[in-house]
Amino acid sequence: MAISTPDQMGKVGKLGRVLGPRGLMPNPKTGTVTPDIARAVEEFKAGKVEYRTDRHGNVHVPIGKASFSAQDLSANFHAVLDEVMRARPASTKGRYLVTVSLSSTMGPGVRIDPAHAADLTEEDEAG
């Protein structure tokens, strides 16, 4: 992760050929170009995760590592699901999430029904 102040972006821009393809180039939209470097570093060290959608509307986001417990992975999955639903534009009609798939880095994807995933969130909060 590369974080920069706005006044130093001219110098960091020279590293664009190296940082750009790796996805490390500081960007104001992602919060990596900020005058408050200390706060930005704390946020990213605490686990702030950015997610992006591709041109087909697919959202790719890591929810954890294989070393995480089942409860931690479940909590992260539900947090991601809640964030995606919160980011839903008000003008969107119909089903917002069509399919949800979970996979390890190089493993096969396991499909999850989005409606059932929302029910699991409610069950986890209840007990």
DSSP sequence for 41-79:
HHHHHTT----EE-TTS-EE-----TTS-HHHHHHHHHH
pLDDT tens for each residue of 55-88 = 888 888 888 888 888 888 888 888 888 888 887 7
User: What token pair was written down for 73?
Assistant: 């992975």
Distance CA(74)–CA(80), nearest Å, equals: 10
pLDDT reported for residue 43: 79
Q: Which residues in the chain come in under a pLDDT of 70?
A: 47, 117-127
Distance CA(76)–CA(63), nearest Å, equals: 5
pLDDT reported for residue 90: 83
The pTM of this model reads 0.60
Q: Which residues contact 53 (CB under 8 A, 6 or more apart)?
A: 59, 60
Domains of the chain, start order: 6-45 (3.40.50.790), 53-126 (3.30.190.20)
Contact 60, 51 (CB under 8 A): yes
pLDDT reported for residue 84: 82
